[in-house]
Structures are given as C-alpha cells and as structure tokens.
Structure 1
C-alpha cells in the first residue's frame, strides 16, 4: 500500500505526518502539505525536515479550515490533476472538518486513505481490508525537534567516553545515597562556586561528616584535589562533572542501555528564528515510540528557602512545548525533594525520582516510557 505521494493535513502535531514520510518501507517521492493560515509556520518547519531527505514537498493553502463543502470541492479539483498518480491521504492531522472533507474527497476519487495511530505508530488503512503496517521509522532528535520548530545548536552527543574510575565513583555514590547525599550536596555547591577559577576555599565548620570520604573518592577518580582549605578541580570538565555532571552521565548510561530510538546528553536547543528566545540545555533527551522524553538531573541540596526545585519544574514544563502534546518530562534528584516541589511536579504532570529510588532507575525508566 505504499504510495508515491503523501497528502498531509498540517496541525501542531508534526510526528504523525513525519513518521510515515521518513519510514524507509513507506517513504514517498513527494509530499503535499495542506495547510491553514494558522498552521503556516508548522508547515514550514515540517517541509524543512522533509526536503532534507531529498523528498519533494509542496504546500497547498486550505481555502477554509472549517468549511467542509469548500474544502471538499477544492480537493476534488486538485485530485483531478492527480488522477494518474499514486497518491494517498494521511488523514491524521488538520482540523476535524479538514479531515472529514479530505477523506470524502479522496474516497470519491478512488484514492487511498490512511491514519497513523500515535500510540502504536501503526498505519491504519481506512479504505481497504488491509492489515495495519507497523512503521520502523526511526526519527532522530534533530529532525523531531526541527519539525516542531526548534533547532539543535552544535553537535548531538549520543555517546560518552568510558572511564572505569568515573564508573566506580558513580556506582559508590548511587549505592550509598543515604550516606553520601549531604556530602554530595556540598561538593555540588563548591563546584558551582569554582566555575571561573576552578578552585574554591572550603568552609570546614559546615562540612558533613562524610565529606572527607567523598572528597577522597573524587580525588581517586582524578576529578579534584583538596589542598589545605582549597578545593582544586583538574579542569573545566572535571568541575562540571562534580557540579552534578556525574549524575547526568549516570542517567545517560542507564538510558543508553535501553536501546531506544535516539538519545542525547547536554543538548542545546533554540527556536528556528533564534529571535527573542534563549537557548535551553536539555540534560537528557530521548525518543521512544516517536515521543520526546526529557529528564532534568539535580544533585544539589534543596533548602526550604531555595526556589531551584520550583525553577527546575517550571523549566521542564516550558520545555514540554519542544515536542508537542505528547512530550513527557521527569525531574530526577539525588537528594529528597521538598514536599512543595513534589506537589508542584504532580500538578504539572512531571514524573519525579528521588533519593534511594535511583537505585532502581532502569526499571522505573522502562515503566515511565511504557506508561
């Protein structure tokens, strides 16, 4: 049931139109995007990604997004010019009147109609008794975000160099969260203070009892050295690692084991125009079943008067727009979150994993992805 031409109804949800186009077993030679005035920007974003793969793409302005009769007449006239072409309607997007009118016009013209199930990623053929086709489309993060109007800045980091010393350090920190959580919060604090100089003076009276043991572990891994009252970091990468980067790398490693569609660590994104919008860094981003998943990692101490927990949640809530309505977000914290932040996360429908629950991270991620 593969067709040479796809006729797509444009909406805010780009994935149902993009996935069939990029699937090798279903890829067309040309795509028509039927677009209302309100969806012109969305169509431009989608067309940019489609053309990147050498597929011809043309936009057709909808005469009226809500007038079924007008849409049907417009499309019947268009289909008269395509009578000898292998063309199929992707009826998944658009307004409901657009979908109703388009499906009827294609039926009258004897052309194929299909629908993309967003949950299963299957193509359902509506005009024939045909078994649904399960797409093997592997949309990558840069294309997915580009289709939703965002641009990835710089390289997409999909793998990290392996360090036995760092892996051992991480396993110790995750395996003894209740023992080391306060000391890690302190390490995180001092690392944040050393951003420009790579060294910072340590205030000993406030140091946790497990501080020295944690410092020794970081020193054994080549991350830092403690000389008298000075905490000195080996380089900028080591300082970032001590400033919570170790937790991001740990989570990234677990996600990578799941062998998902695509993933990245510390990815920077901005809107396509780059005007009036700050660049955002995504700690962990991955695609599973053509749905965007975002994880924000925190290793710091959340004090009662600290708004950083709320800030992280509001950041995640705003970033949900990156991938449309189906984007899923998670806040992952090495330390216990405040009750207020837990409630705020629940209100925003953001998943949280904290403290000792990190020990079972792989299973929790699998459950979250499948939910």
Structure 2
C-alpha cells in the first residue's frame, strides 16, 4: 500500500507545507471547503511544497456539519491504512474531530503541529514528538501565502564601497547618540547629492536598509534564498503588467525567513526628532504613523508566523511620552515595538538582539 498524507485545508497554510516536507508521501488527500478552494489555498500549498496536482485528491466538505463531513469521507472511496499520515492542524474544530474519528478507525497515524511550532505531535495510535527539521526558503514561505517576490535593489548597492559607506554612516548615527538630525556629516552628504538621484536616495535612507540587510545576513548566517533587500510582493499568478504597475510604496525594505518564521523590516531614518516621534502625517511627509500602518497591512495576509518590525537608527526612547504612544499603536496593530538606537547603539548590542530575537 503506497503512503498517503491527509491534510485539512484552512487559511493557515504553512503547517501543511511543513507536514508534506517532513512526512513525504506518494499521494495526498486535501480535505477542503468551497471557501478555501475559492481562495486557492490548496494551490498555494501545492506550489510551496512542490507537489504535482495529479498527486492530490480533493474532498470538499461542509465545515459546519459534522455528520456531513463524515459522510463525505465515507463517500470518497478512500482506503486508509497504517501507511496513511493525517495532519489535523488545519480546518476548523468539526473538520479536525471528524478527520480524527474517521482515520483513527482505520489505524492511520494522526499528527498535530505543537504550539511551539518546532514539533509535530503524534496523537494516534501513540503519542510522540517529531522535531521539524525542514526550513522553508523565502520563496516557499511566500508561495504558501499566495505571493511571489522580486528584489528591486540596485545590484550596485552591494559593492564594497556602498557597504563600507553604510557602516560609516551607522557609526556617525551612534556618535550623535541616535539624534540623527544633529549629524552635520549626514546633512552635508544629503545636501551635496541633491542633483544626483541615486546618491540622494542612498544618503536619505537607503544606506540604512543596506546596513540592516547586510548585518542580519551576516550574524544570522542567512543564504540568499532566505533574505531579500527591497522586495516587491505580487499575487502568485500576477502577470507582467500587474507587476510593472504594483504599488512600490508597499515594497518591503528587508525581509527574511528563519526557523520557519517570516520577518518584515521597515527601515526608516528620520532626519529630525519631530519626525521620529510624530504619530501624525504633516505637510505631506510620512511619519511613523504611516510606516506602522504599512507594516500591519503587509503582515496581515502572511500568516501567524509573520512578524513585523520598524527599525531605525533614531533614538525614539529619548522622548518617553511619544515612545509610549508609539508602543501602544504597535499593540493595536499587532506588530512588534520599534527597534531603535537603544538596540543599535553598538554592533554588539545589535548582534545580541538578532541572536536572541530571531
């Protein structure tokens, strides 16, 4: 009897992708709903896991009717055995209970993704833990959530001169204790490059994106498949025209995957303390307010394993009252509190933060 996996399809797709990778099978049964099929969740899982559609049998059930779910499984012509592996992490409660009831009668092995996201727990016929060894790539994580990406970063950015310049400017921000507007050196560079578009973009903030990207990649030992600079996200089946006309304001400065979590980093340099503490938009200038909302909007469709951070060399905590307001806004938006000068004040404190947080 060939091995088979059974997956319950729901909005959270990553557990099923990981299950397919950890428990290889010759065929797959997707227990799904009309809504999940309309949202193309099954297609996203197949694409992310690299399995061919002809190896998948889909059973569409009424998720709100326990008896109907059981009847759909009985009518599907399945021949479960001990060689079947069932992941009941997805679906709703009725789907999970019905799948457990049906497949336990046929002695199939039944699993659930443990709360720590590091183990699949076998529930039947015995209880044991199976560590998750597979680590998804950036492309696989995004495919599981219906997205593809392209790095829009200028290749020239990562030459040794730009990399060294980003480190030099970060040292300058540390010298002024994160009060970036007090740096005469940075002001001069911005002023002298006003008529040089590429350099102006670099000195007004791109340098910091490059610094964050390079530092994260180095200290977390990430391959190119796990991290991207200036990533544009598109729907998974979007054509070239859609990609050409996408909203560039929603590009992600730095994003990466580690331990099957997806991290979004919005890198911002505020040239004055007023901008650094302002939760409102003033005179057409984007403030922290708009950057936090952008992070929340990007994070929302990318699953429970997506984490979003605003990171800045500015000393936000220099004004405790405004920083408390910023933290409360982050809590409301369900994103992490900003990472500022207090974390970046030395290379060592930043490295310690990265190794502990990610």
Regarding TM over 0.5, the answer is: yes
Name the TM-score class by shorter chain: 0.7 to 0.9
Q: What is the CA deviation profile of residues 25-76 of structure 1, one whole-angstrom value per residue up to 9, with x for unaligned ones?
A: x3223222111112112223222333x3558542423331122222123223
Q: Which runs of structure 2 are paired with 1:25-104 in the superposition (5 Å)?
A: 26-40=23-37, 41=39, 42-50=41-49, 52-53=50-51, 56-78=54-76, 81-83=78-80, 86-104=83-101
Q: Which runs of 5+ in 1 are unaligned?
A: 184-209, 219-223
Q: Which residue of 2 aligns with 1:281?
A: 251
Is this contact kept in 2: 1:16–1:118, CA < 8 A? no
Q: 2: CA distance between counterparts of 1:154 and 1:258?
A: 20
Q: 1: CA distance between counterparts of 2:108 and 2:178?
A: 66
Q: Which residue of 1 aligns with 2:319?
A: none
Residues 68, 147 of structure 1: CA spacing in aligned structure 2 closer, same or farther, 3 A cutoff?
A: same
Is this contact kept in 1: 2:178–2:341, CA < 8 A? no
Q: Aligned match of 1:249 in 207, 210, 221?
A: 210
Residues 326, 349 of structure 1: CA spacing in aligned structure 2 closer, same or farther, 3 A cutoff?
A: same
Q: Are 1:357 and 2:343 counterparts? A: yes
Q: Which residue of 2 aligns with 1:192?
A: none
Q: Which runs of 5+ in 2 are unaligned?
A: 317-321
Given the two structures, how large is their TM-score scaled by the length of structure 1? Answer: 0.76
Q: Are 1:266 and 2:230 counterparts? A: yes
Residues 32, 309 of structure 1: CA spacing in aligned structure 2 closer, same or farther, 3 A cutoff?
A: same
Q: CA deviation at 1:91?
A: 0.6
Q: Which residue of 2 aligns with 1:293?
A: 263
Q: 2: CA distance between counterparts of 1:250 and 1:140?
A: 22
Is this contact kept in 2: 1:170–1:250, CA < 8 A? no
Match of 1:178, SS? coil
Q: Which residue of 2 aligns with 1:203?
A: none
Q: 2: CA distance between counterparts of 1:56 and 1:122?
A: 29
Q: 2: CA distance between counterparts of 1:366 and 1:328?
A: 16
Q: 2: CA distance between counterparts of 1:136 and 1:308?
A: 41
Match of 2:112, SS? strand
Q: Which runs of structure 2 are paired with 1:1-371 in the superposition (5 Å)?
A: 4-23=3-22, 26-40=23-37, 41=39, 42-50=41-49, 52-53=50-51, 56-78=54-76, 81-83=78-80, 86-129=83-126, 131-153=128-150, 160-163=158-161, 165-166=164-165, 168-178=167-177, 181-183=180-182, 210-211=183-184, 213-214=185-186, 226=192, 231-233=194-196, 236=198, 238-256=199-217, 257-259=219-221, 262-272=226-236, 274=238, 278=247, 280-301=250-271, 302-303=274-275, 304=278, 305=282, 307-337=286-316, 338-339=322-323, 340-350=325-335, 351-359=337-345, 360-369=349-358
Is this contact kept in 2: 1:31–1:57, CA < 8 A? yes
Q: 2: CA distance between counterparts of 1:156 and 1:96?
A: 44
Is this contact kept in 2: 1:270–1:278, CA < 8 A? no
Give the root-mean-square deviation of aligned CA atoms. 3.2
Residues 138, 253 of structure 1: CA spacing in aligned structure 2 closer, same or farther, 3 A cutoff?
A: same
Match of 1:109, SS? coil
Is this contact kept in 1: 2:261–2:305, CA < 8 A? yes
Report which of the two structures shows the higher radius of gyration computed on alpha carbons: 1
Q: 1: CA distance between counterparts of 2:131 and 2:91?
A: 22
Pairs aligned (count): 325
Which 4+ stretches in 1 moved above 6 angstroms? 155-159
